[in-house]
A and B are shown apart, each in its own frame.
Chain A
Amino acid sequence: MNIEVSRRRFLQLAGAGAAGTAIGALGFGEAEAQVSALVKPFRLVQTKEARTTCPYCAVSCGMLAYAAPSKTNKGKLEVVHIEGDADHPVNRGTLCPKGAAAIDYIHSATRVKTPMYRKPGTAKFEPVTWDFAMERIAKLMKDDRDANFVEKNAAGTTVNRWTTTAFLSGSSVTNETGWVTYKVARGLGLLQIENQARI
């Protein structure tokens, strides 16, 4: 029994490449065939590792996500295990009860799989295509904007604002997503933009 206790210093830019590499090349068949008599085989063998960040609180712990071909979502890689990144200076490999269970968030029973639409007055959601959903939302927004956009206020100042639609922005999205959100929401002239910072 030899536990290597030295801290590993990790190289910069050490994350895994993008997902979706040829799955066959990873040799999962072999891993599944391996059967050990007593001690179970280590289940991360030949999975694909990527360094990600916990989606929950603002400690923003470093996580390692291990992916393998999905059994239910054919042709796609899905996460099969998550643990803390021991190289991360803040969390040092640890995770809290939420981070340690984050795989169940990915595979949550209430995960939305496909665009869903609820018609006025009905009692259920129905699946729709992306195209239908996006076209309909764009139309609803344009109608509202056309009806309520204010180019100049009473004093004649150019104000270019649209105050009848609100955008609540998530605080667990990436900075880049945040910037796109900002650009889109402000670009439309929205003033009712908020995130979780205040609450």
Chain B
Amino acid sequence: MFPAIPNPTTEKSAAKFGEKDMIRRSASTITPPAKRQTEVAKLIDVSKCIGCKACQTACLEWNQLTEEVGVNVGVYDNPHDLTANSWTLMRYTEYENPESGNLEWLIRKDGCMHCEDPGCLKACPSPGAIVQYSNGIVDFVKENCIGCGYCVKGCPFNIPRISKADHKAYKCTLCSDRVAVGQGPACQKACPTQAIVFGTKDEMKAWAAKRIADLKSRGFDKAGLYDPPGVQGTHVMYVLHHADKPQLYAGLANNPRISPLVEAWKGVGKYAGLALIGLTAAAGVIHHILQGPNRVSKEDEENAEKLAGGKS
């Protein structure tokens, strides 16, 4: 059993991280702190998950979110997608394993992965609306959010959602308010089977290794850790029985990276675009300097008058 994090205190205590620990800030250039905090991570062991949705209700409860009562559409996934109020969601996949002939019910808790290289932050045009702390938490700052939705497109996992009520972007905060006082996220605390554990990223990797060894002993040869290098690793990681096929798990990205489209848009595109605009304008100026204005001459007017005169 992964040791339980002690119960919270109701005494006031200093936050363990804050503004000074910011390493990235959207649409801003900042100087990161000299020393990074120990990186934290949440490990989701899909092989231990019973799909009970305790993480979902714990998330709603702690974050005081009110989600709508929906309908059943023939599946267990409710709500049907992440929303501005549902920051985490169980996604269920029925998979008939062709090798073993067994049915497998793959249940993945979806939510923000807290990427080391966050696409949302990269896409965000609003200074300080998205921040990344040196412990790895990527958080949205409501006050600075303009609700443009670029983070949604920037995210390689399609996680943020824009609220219809206040037009701000929302996603899992990794319960930054809990982590700041030494607690784990609400979902982690609730998870009945410890399919979600929380600690330093190194601890989580070591714990995952133990889980993977157990899965391999049960015939899941391809069991492994999902900590995708395409986004330089994540602070929410999965243990998967079929780490070679992440897409089995309700379309988890096989090799997530910030979409080349987004990279093009927010990387080279920005500069190329501005350059093209600038060059065009410059060309006009140069052309004007070299060529001078294209004036209508007296003869032109006379010819016109003549033409008009001849006809009228």
Same assembly: yes
Interface residues, chain A, CB within 8 Å of chain B? 1-8, 31, 36-49, 64, 66, 81-87, 91-101, 103-104
- Which chain B residue lies CB-closest to A94? B192
Known: A46-B10, A97-B52, A101-B61. A92 touches B1 (CB 8 A): yes
- Which chain B residue lies CB-closest to A43? B177
- Which chain B residue lies CB-closest to A102? B61
Q: Which residues of A contact B184 (CB under 8 A)?
A: 3
- Which chain B residue lies CB-closest to A87? B7
The B interface, classified by DSSP as helix, strand, loop or mixed, is: loop
Say whether A100 contacts B5, CB under 8 Å: no
List residues of B (5-25) whose CB comes within 8 Å of A's CBs: 5-13, 15-19, 22
The A interface, classified by DSSP as helix, strand, loop or mixed, is: loop
Say whether B7 contacts A1, CB under 8 Å: no
Say whether A7 contacts B180, CB under 8 Å: no
Q: Report A58 CB to chain B, min CB distance, Å.
A: 14
Q: Which residues of B contact A85 (CB under 8 A)?
A: 7
Say whether A96 contacts B194, CB under 8 Å: no
Say whether A1 contacts B135, CB under 8 Å: yes
B57 interface residue (CB < 8 Å to A): yes
Interface residues, chain B, CB within 8 Å of chain A? 1, 3-13, 15-19, 22, 37-38, 40, 52-54, 56-58, 60-62, 131, 135, 139, 141, 176-182, 184, 186, 189-194, 198-200
Say whether B10 contacts A101, CB under 8 Å: no
Say whether B180 contacts A39, CB under 8 Å: yes
Say whether B54 contacts A96, CB under 8 Å: yes
Say whether B4 contacts A7, CB under 8 Å: yes
Q: Which residues of A contact B11 (CB under 8 A)?
A: 45-46
Say whether A5 contacts B3, CB under 8 Å: yes
Say whether B16 contacts A97, CB under 8 Å: no
Q: Report A113 CB to chain B, min CB distance, Å.
A: 21
State in angstroms the CA–CA spacing of A38 and B17 once bound together.
10
Contact residue among A3, A64, A104 (Cβ-Cβ distance under 8 Å from B200): A3
Say whether B6 contacts A39, CB under 8 Å: no
Say whether A40 contacts B7, CB under 8 Å: no
Which among A3, A44, A83 has the greatest number of chain B C-beta atoms within 10 A? A3
Contact residue among A41, A64, A101 (Cβ-Cβ distance under 8 Å from B177): A41
Contact residue among B4, B54, B180 (Cβ-Cβ distance under 8 Å from A92): B4
Q: Report A6 CB to chain B, min CB distance, Å.
A: 7
Say whether A97 contacts B54, CB under 8 Å: yes
Say whether B61 contacts A100, CB under 8 Å: yes
Say whether A2 contacts B5, CB under 8 Å: no
State in angstroms the CA–CA spacing of A2 and B176 once bound together.
14
Contact residue among A42, A46, A83 (Cβ-Cβ distance under 8 Å from B189): A83
Q: Report A166 CB to chain B, min CB distance, Å.
A: 34
Which among B38, B54, B198 has the greatest number of chain A C-beta atoms within 10 A? B54
Q: Report B63 CB to chain A, min CB distance, Å.
A: 9
Q: List 28 A-B contacts (CB under 8 A).
A: A1-B38, A3-B198, A3-B200, A4-B6, A5-B199, A38-B19, A38-B139, A38-B141, A40-B176, A42-B177, A42-B178, A42-B180, A46-B12, A47-B10, A49-B10, A81-B61, A86-B6, A86-B7, A87-B7, A92-B1, A93-B4, A94-B194, A95-B189, A95-B192, A96-B190, A100-B61, A101-B57, A103-B61
